[in-house]
Chains A and B, each alone.
Chain A
């Protein structure tokens, strides 16, 4: 059984008198442990698809299942629990909590999960070191550069080892070296822990890391192909 199953997803947006198709009859099957890139121009539906799979946005029609559970039928609280325990998000804008330090932002999800302080500290120290933010743990987001904030957001998404990571332009604002390091980290999580990655990106360098590439346009999947990892 697929880890994620999307059947005939439709989502329209009203913009004045015009109806914009966010998702136009999108169907996908994603296996556990996949490493997938979503590509396509702006407005092609990549972010809408990620939001729908993560239960952040509702659908007009269609069905989404994660490990057999119907996401589109869950209540608000059940969706919150699903996101908390199974999904890690990296958003297009870094979306950090400004009153919390880098470490506290990384630990936020673990705190909500109820992970103990010692375990949180160990895991957050390790992940911050891995994303190159050692020594910056106590800085607030306003004291970090755009790239550093992005790395905090990535660290927060993967520190609790979710089954699925939904990442929207995770390498925006990162230099090549940081991007390579981050993608290596993603790959290691994918290979060792079988974490499924679904990454929306414009960056060809990122796409090369994916074993499957799904191209979208006007809310539709126009190409879905396996590819050789670089």
Chain B
């Protein structure tokens, strides 16, 4: 027969504070461990979110539509017609946050001194702004006014490479659908900066209508970029769009468009769990030691309880209850500590001293910790579940004492 829960809880709680110092030390260890789990996970999440945002803004969008062969040969010959009525209905639905169609072709940009291979983006500036291009990123001059703007916006780094400057003319060359050279002179009307230097060097923006005219493709576009509301679940949007696009179109989510980034997100999810378990394993030694010590100090009492009629299983519950109190208190403190340290850092942690390394990983030099409730729950679940499992050994040991031997201990 087991003791009623309130009586067992009272006994466990009092036993917990018999060795005040040991309990406080263990509580501190659990709290710090839980804090480390949650805080580091928030940093990792922030880094991954940033990587995805950077990646999605470079793509851009959560979903893209291309002609079937475009990804193998991103030339103007593999274009899409402008969105039809059925596609427009999906694009204007409440599942879509923003969208834009664009021409995207490889091109050569030349100044009077230098030339560089770039990706020429013929865009509708309003659509790009909605997709995530920030006007503030244009650090000199202006962004394009409309799809028929005759100017060009280039990256800060590229302008340095071209040894050119704002207001100067550059020539952009590409191929039209007949594989003949199509070129046009543009005046540099704006210079943009990007978190990733590689973007500044490799992408130029011109008006979509102007580029379509230059390449002679009518209203055809290279891709339609669509932004949903949750980057982690783009599949619904993909399947909705697939039902309305022409058969020769390819509809892919960012996870497929940038498999490295997609895999990274999955790896990070796994890493978070491994990280939590590793921290817990370090903690578990302390937990087992604390419980073992607590039991060795009370062998006589355990023998007494057994002699008075407590079943071995009730002794197990008693020890587990003590462990549960210790874990719950540690979790409470750890969670509060984590939340208290993450909230003040919501404006970001400047890691510009390692900015190059961060950039190589596709993340920016400011880390924004992201506290997600599922991560918080996972950390708590890991500590409670593994904590109880770990406590089974000392609890089982306690239940194995023979009453007469335990009672004779001094």
Contact = CB atoms under 8 A, between A and B. Distances in A.
A219 interface: no
Interface string A92-117: 00010111100000001101111000
B14 A81 contact: no
B307 A112 contact: no
B163 to A, nearest CB: 82
Interface string B34-72: 000000000000000000000000000000000000000
A89 B301 contact: no
A218 B306 CA distance: 28
Given A76-B312, A111-B3, A111-B4, A95 B407 contact: yes
Contacts of A80: 1, 306, 309-312
A112 B307 CA distance: 12
B401 to A, nearest CB: 11
Decide if the interface of chain B is mainly helix, strand, loop or mixed: helix
A108 B14 CA distance: 15
Which one of B300, B305, B313 has the greatest number of beta carbons of chain A within 10 Å?
B305
A112 B3 CA distance: 4
A211 B172 CA distance: 120
Given A111-B4, A112-B314, A113-B1, A84 B18 contact: no
A84 B14 contact: no
A54 interface: yes
A51 B404 contact: yes
A109 to B, nearest CB: 5
A156 to B, nearest CB: 8
B360 interface: no
B308 interface: yes
Contact of A84 (B308, B404, B407): B308
A83 interface: yes
B126 interface: no
Interface string A143-156: 00000000000001
B308 A112 contact: yes
Contacts of B4: 111, 114
A77 B312 contact: yes
Interface residues of A, number: 26
A173 to B, nearest CB: 18
A77 B311 CA distance: 5
B358 interface: no
A57 interface: yes
A84 B305 CA distance: 10
A56 interface: yes
B127 interface: no
Nearest to B301: A97
A71 B313 CA distance: 20
Interface in A42-95: 51, 54, 56-58, 76-77, 80-81, 83-85, 89, 91, 95
Contacts of B407: 56, 91, 95
B18 A99 contact: yes
B11 A99 contact: yes
B7 A111 contact: yes
A80 B11 CA distance: 19
A130 B310 CA distance: 26
B14 A99 contact: yes
B311 A81 contact: yes
Contacts of A81: 1, 309, 311
A2 B3 CA distance: 32
A109 B309 CA distance: 7
Given A99-B11, A99-B14, A89 B3 contact: no
A76 B306 CA distance: 9
Contacts of A76: 311-312
A37 B244 CA distance: 97
A210 B1 CA distance: 34
Interface of B: 1-4, 7, 11, 14-15, 18, 300-301, 304-314, 402-404, 407
28 contacts: A51-B404, A56-B403, A56-B407, A57-B404, A76-B311, A76-B312, A80-B1, A80-B311, A80-B312, A81-B309, A83-B308, A84-B308, A91-B304, A91-B307, A95-B304, A95-B407, A97-B304, A98-B301, A99-B15, A99-B18, A100-B14, A109-B309, A111-B3, A112-B2, A112-B3, A112-B309, A112-B310, A113-B309
What 6 pairs between A and B have smallest CB-CB spacing?
A84-B309, A99-B14, A57-B404, A56-B404, A80-B311, A83-B309
Given A85-B309, A95-B300, A111-B3, 7 more contacts: A77-B312, A80-B306, A81-B1, A89-B308, A99-B11, A113-B309, A114-B4
